[in-house]
Structure 1
Amino acid sequence: MMYVELKNQLVELEKQLKLLQLWSAQAISAQALASTAPFACDTMTFEQWLQFIFIPKMQQLMAAKMPLPTNMAIAPMAEHVWQSMPERHSIIELLRVLDALVNQ
């Protein structure tokens, strides 16, 4: 059941990123994807990290029925990065829901 809710939340996250024009039609470079920094903050924006790393990784874990993270905290990073951007607060709230869903 949690996988169904998680999948729905990821779909909603993608929808919100597209709605706010934060979704990139262009693929990101392999070099940027190879970052080892938290949230790949040295090679991409937070929204790019959501699109190119977080969403695909969560989808892969669910498709393979692998264990999900047990201590996920994506919303605090979003709050930090987007604190002065009220138009992105709906995405922050979605990330809070995702954190809570995975951490239950």
Structure 2
Amino acid sequence: MEARVLLIADQLLLIERELRVQGWWEIESPGEQALSSQQPFCIDTLAFEQWLQWIFLPRMKQLLESGAPLPQASGIHVMAEQVYGSDVAARALVKLLGDFDRLIVG
């Protein structure tokens, strides 16, 4: 496995850990309807942290495990900045998402 893939996998684990630390990790999945939104980031049906947990992390892990091509770009950091603004509690998560964006273009 190439080094970049391992770095991205580690970054995904750090993002998951931060969601848990902040208490934003949920035990129960949102309903199928909420998860099947066609809007970017499921903005009409999920909170951003729910989207991270239930859509983003599983999809990225699936790509890594299957060896499928990775996206060439990510705008997740910009979205996190819009969602959390200057929320001090979210600062670490926003940074981790920025690091992910840098790794994905890497």
- Which category describes the TM-score, using the shorter chain as reference length? over 0.9
State yes or no: 1:65 paired with 2:40.
Answer: no
Cα distance per residue 1:71-98 (max 9 Å; x no partner): 1110000000000311101000000000
Cα distance per residue 1:18-45 (max 9 Å; x no partner): 0000111111110011101000000000
1: distance between equivalents of 2:80 and 2:88?
12
The alpha carbon displacement at 1:99 in A equals 0.3
Residues matched between the structures, number: 104
Structure 1 unaligned spans of 5+: none
Matched residue, 1:44: 46
> TM-score, with normalisation over the residues of structure 2?
0.96
SS at match of 1:100: helix
Quick one: which of 87, 93, 97 aligns to 1:91? Answer: 93
Structure 2 unaligned spans of 5+: none
Matched residue, 1:16: 18
1: distance between equivalents of 2:89 and 2:74?
24
Matched residue, 2:104: 102
Q: Which runs of 4+ in 1 moved over 3 A?
A: none
